[in-house]
Amino acid sequence: MLRSKILPLKPRNRKRKREQNVVSKNQEPLPLTVVEEEVEEGFSLKTSAPSHSHGVQPLGNLYFNPSSHNSRNTGLGNLQTLTDELVLDILGYLSGTHLGILSIVSKSFYVFSDHEPLWRNLVLENYGGGFLYNGSWKSSFVSAYKPSFVGSCVGSLGLKVRDFYSDYLFQSWLCANLVMKPEWLERDNIQRRRGMSVDEFILNFEEPNKPVLLEGCTDNWVALKKWDTDYLVEVCGDVRFSVGPVEMRLQDFLSYSDQAREERPLYLFDPKFAEKVPRLGSDYEVPAYFTEDLFKVLGGERPDYRWVIIGPAGSGSSFHIDPNSTSAWNAVIKGSKKWVLFPPDVVPPGVHPSPDGAEVACPVSIIEWFMNFYNATKKWEKKPIECVCKAGEVIFVPNGWWHLVINLEDSIAITQNFVSRRNLVNVLDFLKRPDANTLVSGTRDRVNLHDKFRKAIEASFPGTIGQLILEAGEKKAQQKKPSFWDSVTDSKAGAFKFSF
């Protein structure tokens, strides 16, 4: 086992539009100590994790190589001055055939051309959801391209390249095979409630805009009793659901999910599931705390608001704020999810939103965020709210809160976004922003959504908007006003000062 001291891996960032493992007793120790100051604490790999394909090592190990030779550079020739990210970006313009040809040019191009995300993009772009995952994305591409070819043989040579060092390629593999460290899961500081009245929920959580984990409010759901994979496959049949940029049959997605071992697994996230399969919509009911949903006044023109979420361990959603300034609830039906939430005024470490909020730069994967940024939150005065949400539990996510979610095991969940009187003014303000056409989501008519929504509210609930705006103004003024005790303290301080 290699135990050499190395330099930290450099975090990778990616931009995305605004809008992922249960710890096993049989984990194998990580063969390379690779991450910042965590060497002595140790990381563990999934029991099914292969040794790194082609023998790629982190760049820090190069400094302990007597020859100081990096075969990455010699194999790339004049392209060696480019970063690994840029090399892969260039290769992303190639077809599968050209990638295959390039892979025999040199050992370096063999390694780069075998990078799984390249083949994943090719599969999704060329075959949409009409493919069968075959152990790897490269194998899946070849099998779809030429069905008569024995796809399982693709990549079986597993050629090792000596002295090849790349932080980018190594970290991609590491994040795909790392299990969540126990200390990433142990903090559970969210308030939990069972049997709370709706009035208590509004007073203690919705009004002050605070998260809460609710227990027992899904006990009567049919979904909680029936929704295993066999039931869902039978009910859904050949219906196709949204999976990333494509639509897939549930049976095909579950086949992928069972085999997936990648840094950012695909996950099923469909906003029209209840329309596609009405029985799914009737298998659950909205908890009493969230039944007031004012977007209902828009009828068929309301933005997307409910989703079924199915994904393997490691899948999930990196830091984001829910769309249209709505609040949300998320109910786990099978499996479990780790949640990390920051209040609206605290941007999570490693996350860089654009000034208008239209784009967010963040680490490439959720695991990478935990590796590089999670420890920093332990020293923050405003620590994140964290919990593991298990089957039968529901989490309330207030509007404006940053949150990250990762599936700790194969999971199924239902989530809905909603507008109540408590956040109606926020939503209207958001929808009328000058750049709303780039920020509003889940609807075809982004430009006119504000006017349509406001008119529909005024027609259905006359005077409500004016009253809520008045109350919001009074509340803000009250918050700025010094309390009685602040005034008394100031008076005493002044009297004490003049007495001398």
Average pLDDT over residues 116-127: 95
**Alpha-carbon distance 69 to 63, whole Å?**
9
For residue 359, give the DSSP letter.
E
Q: How confident is the model at residue 311 (pLDDT cuts 50, 70, 90)?
A: very high
Q: So what's the pLDDT on residue 261?
A: 87
d(CA 163, CA 70): 5
Average pLDDT over residues 214-237: 96
pLDDT at 52: 63
User: Rounded to two decimals, what is the model's pTM?
Assistant: 0.85
pLDDT surpasses 80 at 223 = yes
Q: What is the pLDDT of residue 150?
A: 56
Q: Residue range 110-121: average pLDDT?
A: 95
CA distance to 121, 171, 228, per residue, from 59 (Å): 26, 10, 44
Give all strands of the β-sheet with 352-353 in edge-to-edge order: 13-17, 359-363, 352-353
Residue 84 · residue 169 · CB < 8 Å: yes
- Closest C-alpha among 8, 44, 40 to residue 27: 44
pLDDT tens by residue, 387-421: 999 999 999 999 999 999 999 999 999 999 999 99
* Paired tokens of 86: 């840029």
The rounded percent of the chain whose pLDDT value lies above 90 is 64
Q: What are phi and psi of 9, to 5 degrees?
A: -75, 145
Instruction: Using alpha carbons, select from 277, 423, 395, 379 the residue that is nearest to residue 339.
Output: 395
Tell me, what's the pLDDT at 256?
Answer: 96
Q: Tell whether the model's pLDDT for residue 481 goes beyond 80.
A: no
Judge whether 30 and 42 are in contact, CB under 8 Å: yes
With beta carbons less than 8 A apart as the criterion, state whether 215 and 80 touch: no
**Angstrom distance (rounded) from CA 392 to CA 194:** 12
Q: How many of the other CB atoms lie within 10 Å of CB of 477?
A: 9
pLDDT at 495: 41
Overall average pLDDT of the 304-326 stretch = 95
3-class secondary structure for 260-284? CCCCCCCCEEECCHHHHCHHHHHCC
145 confidence band (pLDDT: 50, 70, 90): confident
Please tell me the predicted confidence (pLDDT) of residue 499. Answer: 37
Return the structure tokens found at 193: 């409630």
The tokens describing 125, both together, are: 């772009």
Confidence of residue 15 (pLDDT cuts 50, 70, 90): low
Long-range contacts at 271-275 (CB < 8 A, ≥ 24 apart): 271/242, 271/304, 271/305, 271/306, 271/307, 271/442, 272/242, 272/304, 273/241, 273/306, 273/307, 273/308, 274/306
